Chains A and B, each alone.
Chain A
Amino acid sequence: MSITVSDVSRRFGSTTALQPLSLEIKNGEMVGLLGPSGSGKTTLLRIIAGLEMPDSGSIHFGERDVTHVHVRKRRVGFVFQHYALFRHMSVFENVAFGLRARPAGERPSNAEIRDRVQHLLERVRLDTLAKRLPAQLSGGQQQRVALARALAVEPEVLLLDEPFGALDARVRLELRRWLRHLHEEFNFTSVFVTHDQEEALELSDRVVVMSNGKIEQIDTPQSLYRAPANRFVFSFLGETNRFGGEYHNGRLQQGEAWIALETSDSAADEVLLRPHELMLTTAPDARAHLPVTVDAVSPVGSDVRVELTAEWMDTPWLASITHHDFDRLQPQRGSDFYLIPSRYHRFAPDSA
């Protein structure tokens, strides 16, 4: 089931939650709505679900105009941020709720409900906990109940609001993979909201980056990361170091520090650099003269993260170097180095 959002806008009192925006989600696609809090991503998700009404615009599921269709009749699966499990019902009854709530004519028989719920619980590996109450489950288990409950009504659209936000890192990673599997197996169209860029990039076929109630960019994770449309998308998708200065004679200069810039734009006043695009060296070269002092070193993970300070920076920089370079250079707190950027990024000044 494809989802078409056309010119949808929404205001709450005097604040604009969504500026008129349009979005096309293909059948079977998994799309992440990514943005900081207050960017309107949850409002958009709730409008797609029918839990909020848009002030203008329309929502189509396939050919069907659902703008004025009540949430009850939209047949979407919705997974709430804090799961919103029915606290007084067992896991089994939670999952069975959607089937039992159907009008008498469409309601499956008790035996059929039992079979279907049992099957779903097996799929989410909770069949042994069917009699428990939600409060007796861990966060990850509650999340799986919430998913099973949403899937029980066989929705063609699955909407998830910050699905993994409240879970610890390991459970989150496991559930992410598992959700991806489920998505491919059941072949529904999924839209999820997240403020975690890693989550959005890993799970989604396409990511919708939002800020201030508008869409900044819609793209696949790869092109989003490689070719961010503007400064906001770039800085939201990863850690960013900023170099601000004045441009003359092919160099962007700030005090004693400079970066060679290939541009004819004399108004250039800043470049952005990713931590992994910085090399730590013992001497400057023709590309840049960036003297820095090591402030902290964190050799955890596949790279070594080095925090750097210098007088010409507004905020400390972060460089990630290989363990090989780390062993060779032995950076320690207080030691001095030069940075050489392998790449830099410039964005038009008018973009946020």
Chain B
Amino acid sequence: MKRIGDGAATRAGLIGLAVILTTLFLVIPLAGIFYQALVEGMAPFWQNLTSAFTAEAIGLTLLIALMTVPINLLFGIFLAWLVTRFTFPGRRLLQTLIDIPFAVSPVVAGLLYLLLYGRTGWLGSILSEHDIQLMFAWPGMVLVTVFVTCPFVARELIPLMQAQGSAEEEAGVTLGAGGWTLFRRITLPNIRWALVYGVILTNARAIGEFGAVSVVSGSIRGETINLPLQVELLYQDYNTVGAFTSAALLAALAIVTLVIKAVLEWHTHRREKTA
């Protein structure tokens, strides 16, 4: 019996189409980034890569990621724990609210933060009385990045923790384990791969975030420019090689992330098979 549409010609056609589309939309642009970065040779590429502004941008990008990931790691675990281990009124609403950063355009998120924390904003005016400025400075950029990336960890954990149930934790309690022991020896090992996965996604987004960050950054060169903003800035300065050098850096980071993700997926898959 042949399945419907399982002819040799159909199959070849579909595979061919997939290859063409992938090449057109993914491979060529990606290769183009590296080509554009190196089109004038190694020297300008290297010069742009090692410029003071690029170094500042890399530094800021890493700072944002380094602060965002731990914050959202803890927040995600807390949220997933709350939603999957307790029943309380509003639980479902909370589960829906988690997705707001996904649903809202990052630019809108950035504007909202500007409105709230800007010098004339509700909270910003109070803060500025104490000489604290969040907007147009790196703390504001961290703040919006945290907002934009906060669902990733929770979204990875919630379905898993729901599927696993709380029976193992209950067993742990009856055996005399305290809260921390339970978390460290039972909950954490059961969710660790989902956790790593959530961190990778959070990290990738934190490094690459543009929209929300661009609204609150104020574009102060050498201070509030991270790599994605630097790409745009250099491109508008007609420094194509510079823009593509930074873009290549981001692309390289993305590829590394993808490789780690693939390795992890392969690892989890293998674990599931043996289990």
| A contact residues vs B (CB 8 Å cutoff) | 49-51, 71-78, 80, 82, 84-89, 97-98, 101-102, 133, 135, 149-150, 152-153
- Chain A residues, CB < 8 A from B190: 87-88
Q: In the complex the two chains form, is A101's CB within 8 Å of B171's CB?
A: no
Best-buried of A77, A78, A84, A150 by chain B (most CB within 10 Å): A84
Partner of B175 from the list A50, A51, A133, A153 (CB cut-off 8 Å) is: A153
Q: In the complex the two chains form, is B175's CB within 8 Å of A97's CB?
A: yes
Interface members, chain B 157-178 (any A CB < 8 Å): 167-168, 170-178
- Chain B residues, CB < 8 A from A82: 167
Q: A135 → chain B, closest Cβ, in Å? A: 4
Given A87-B190, A87-B275: A71 and B167 interface contact (C-beta under 8 Å): no
Q: Contact size class for B?
A: 10 to 19
The 6 A-B pairs with the shortest beta carbon distances in the complex, nearest first, are: A98-B175, A84-B167, A101-B177, A78-B174, A84-B171, A135-B275
Q: B110 → chain A, closest Cβ, in Å? A: 41
- Chain A residues, CB < 8 A from B174: 49-51, 71-72, 74, 76-78, 150
- Which label, helix, strand, loop or mixed, suits the secondary structure of the B interface? helix
Best-buried of B175, B185, B190 by chain A (most CB within 10 Å): B175
Judge whether B189 is part of the interface by a CB distance below 8 angstroms: yes
- Chain B residues, CB < 8 A from A150: 174-175
Partner of A78 from the list B168, B171, B181, B274 (CB cut-off 8 Å) is: B171
Judge whether B186 is part of the interface by a CB distance below 8 angstroms: yes
Given A72-B173, A72-B176: A97 and B167 interface contact (C-beta under 8 Å): no
Q: In the complex the two chains form, is A97's CB within 8 Å of B168's CB?
A: no
Q: What's the Cα separation between A98 and B182 when bound, in Å? A: 11
Q: B274 → chain A, closest Cβ, in Å? A: 8
Residue in chain A with minimal CB distance to B178: A72
Q: In the complex the two chains form, is B168's CB within 8 Å of A87's CB?
A: yes
Q: A185 → chain B, closest Cβ, in Å? A: 21
Q: In the complex the two chains form, is B167's CB within 8 Å of A153's CB?
A: no
- Chain A residues, CB < 8 A from B176: 72-73, 75, 98, 101-102, 153
Residue in chain A with minimal CB distance to B171: A84
Given A77-B174, A153-B175: A101 and B181 interface contact (C-beta under 8 Å): yes
Given A84-B168, A87-B168, A88-B189: A101 and B175 interface contact (C-beta under 8 Å): yes
Q: Hey, what's the 0/1 contact readout for B25-40 against A, CB within 8 Å counting as 1?
A: 0000000000000000
Q: What's the Cα separation between A84 and B176 when bound, in Å? A: 15
Given A87-B190, A88-B190: A97 and B170 interface contact (C-beta under 8 Å): no
Q: A180 → chain B, closest Cβ, in Å? A: 22
Q: In the complex the two chains form, is B168's CB within 8 Å of A71's CB?
A: no
Residue in chain A with minimal CB distance to B169: A84
Q: What's the Cα separation between A135 and B176 when bound, in Å? A: 24
- Chain A residues, CB < 8 A from B172: 86, 97, 101
Q: B184 → chain A, closest Cβ, in Å? A: 10
Q: What's the Cα separation between A135 and B274 when bound, in Å? A: 9
- Chain B residues, CB < 8 A from A102: 176
- Chain A residues, CB < 8 A from B175: 97-98, 101, 149-150, 152-153
Q: What's the Cα separation between A320 and B176 when bound, in Å? A: 50
